[in-house]
Structure 1
Amino acid sequence: MNVVELNPSTPAGLVKSEILNGVLRLEMNNPPANALSIALMQALKDALDATRQDKSIRVVIIASATPGKLFSAGHDLKELTLHRADEDRGRAFFARSMKLCAELMQTIVHLPVPVIAEVDGLATAAGCQLVASCDLAMCTDTSAFCTPGVNIGLFCSTPMVALSRNVHRKQAMEMLLTGETIDASTAREFGLINRIMPRQYLTQVVMKYADVIASKSPLTVKIGKEAFYRQAEMSLEDAYDYTAQVMVENMLARDAEEGMNAFIAKRTPEWTGE
């Protein structure tokens, strides 16, 4: 088992990490609610950034170190509230927190390897945003999700970015306007979750998906993930023009040549990542 090195300035223990067979598992460890404090968000971002220097990592899993309770309660409201005593009523700290949160979510999207959310418990506000930002999301049948900012006079505007890019508009607005909690089945129906299972099978199923993805060409997965998010923001015509160019460049890669030759020869391909 390997451990990802975090930024020396990051408090130790906020994120537990281990690497097994090319799969990096990151567990948020900020009890009791895994609130996304400045320190936890920075720790997660540092851990994700570190994967860019480790070519052995093929997939990342984000989970909670305390499953069955709260996956993440979102921003640390106590931390935010303390800064209302600042001379600027907290403006600078609020801006810093929201900026770091946006950077964390974009880091997940722009990471060259897929990121899977393993959810067992409640994912609320920015915690729900974290789930929506991941490429895949699996949860237990007792998990739940919400964007309840409207209940405390703080609309979930930044969670809305990830949420509205994963679920239909009216369903996103339903969550944002009511602040009500949806169960796992509804989350899957909305498109927020890929799979639901009993708690005892969650990690096993997530690892199965991670292992399958890790067995693919890392270059091909990187190309595909980047293209997926870029084309999603384009017009239909521009998306086809762009992805056609991506396909041509992908076809010229050695892994594509190896994969097609292996398919024709009915053998297992040997990926080089080139």
Structure 2
Amino acid sequence: MGEVLKIEHGTETLRITQEGGVRRIAMARPPANALSLGFMEELTNALTAAAEDRNVRVVVLASDAKVFCAGHDLKEMQAARDEADKGRCFFEKTFQRCADLMQTIVRLRVPVIAEVNGVATAAGCQLVASCDLAIASEEARFATPGVNIGLFCSTPMVALSRNVHRKHAMEMLLTGETTDPTHAREIGLVNRVVPKQYLGQVVQKYAETIASKSAFTLKIGKEAFYRQAELPLSEAYKETARVMVENMMAKDADEGMSAFIEKRTPTWVDE
């Protein structure tokens, strides 16, 4: 593994390592990686810093705890009810910061892979759904259980409903029941399910495969993917045709096609 960088903010900690072009951001806020206001800011900053580092080509979002992420910090949120406004200002700030975090993942110039071992519930499930790819161990579990405590998982619903069929999303949201990794794969929440002992190895292989591609091509493709997904069919084709032309004019497209014709390995310049 590469050099270990440690970021600390009070008791809220991330463990960041990098090997080649793959940066691994592991949440390490025991016991459940609860997304407090401070921790969400910390995680957003770490993701942004990864995107600004030109040596980073793929980000892996993982956990060093037994739980991947149990969602928002309910103790922190309940404590805010003691404020004069009954917590309204704090709640607004919390959910806005959560939205910023999820959109940071989607808008990041590099692909983000969720490495899920353990439980991912509520906003933790939202994290998984927001990532570009998700690989889960056989011990992973997923749920949007807000309905069980009188708080519908409305913000997790945004990422969830954009990744799985509406009826499967509604089933998770309405029942609050836990979904095993096999079913999560069947409904499109995760890409693969592997034995726990091979999880890191499989994720690293995925990350290295993606990191070997042109960073420019990955960036332009990821941006186009999410942009076209929100457009009507004809507009989506118009937009992606524009992107294809832009991509064709890039140095890496010229190099990649030449390398294919000449039967050699391309040398990317990421332009």
Question: Aligned pair 1:162/2:141, yes or no?
Answer: no
1:231, CA displacement in angstroms? 0.2
Match of 2:122 in 1: 125
Look up the match of 2:27: 28
1:123-179: CA deviation from partner (whole Å, max 9, x where unpaired): 000000000000000011121100000000000000000000000000000000000
Normalising by structure 1, we get a TM-score of 0.96
Any gaps of 5 or more consecutive residues in structure 1? none
Query: Is the aligned partner of 1:85 residue 2:85?
Result: no
Any conservation in 1 of the 2:12–2:39 contact (CA below 8 Å)? no
Q: Report the AA paired with residue 219 of structure 1.
A: F
Aligned: 1:229 with 2:226: yes
Measure the CA separation in 2 of the matches of 1:195 and 1:251: 32
For structure 2, list consecutive stretches of 5 or more residues without a partner in the other structure: none
2:170 matches 1:173: yes
Aligned length: 270
CA distance in 2, matches of 1:106, 1:2: 28
What secondary structure is seen at the aligned counterpart in 2 of 1:70? coil
Contact in 2 for aligned 1:71/1:122 (Cα 8 Å): yes
Per the alignment, residue 73 of structure 1 pairs with 70
Q: Does the 8 Å CA contact 2:12/2:38 hold for their aligned counterparts? A: no
Shift of 1:52: 2.8
Q: 1:71 is paired with a residue of what secondary structure?
A: coil
Give the alignment's Cα RMSD to 1 decimal: 1.3
- Runs of 4+ residues deviating >4 angstroms: 2-6
Query: Residue type of the partner of 1:221?
Result: L
Given that residues 28 and 40 in structure 1 are in contact (C-alpha distance below 8 angstroms), is that contact kept between their aligned partners in structure 2? no
- Deviation at 1:39? 1.6
* Secondary structure, aligned partner of 1:75: coil
* Percent of matched pairs sharing the same residue: 62
What's 1:199 paired with?
Answer: 196
Contact between 1:4 and 1:50, CA under 8 Å: does it hold in 2? no
The answer to whether the aligner puts 1:263 opposite 2:260 as a matched pair is yes
SS of corresponding position for 2:190: coil
The equivalent residue for 1:151 is: 148
State the alpha-carbon separation in 1 of the partners of residues 137 and 201 from structure 2. 12
Deviation by residue 1:20-65 (Cα, 9 ceiling, x = unmatched): 1110100101100110111211111000111232101000001111
Amino acid at match of 1:37: S
What is the aligned partner in structure 1 of residue 41 from structure 2? 42
Cα distance change of structure 1 residues 77 and 148 upon mapping to structure 2, 3 Å threshold: same
Q: What letter is aligned with 1:62?
A: L
Q: Is 1:97–2:97 an aligned residue pair?
A: no
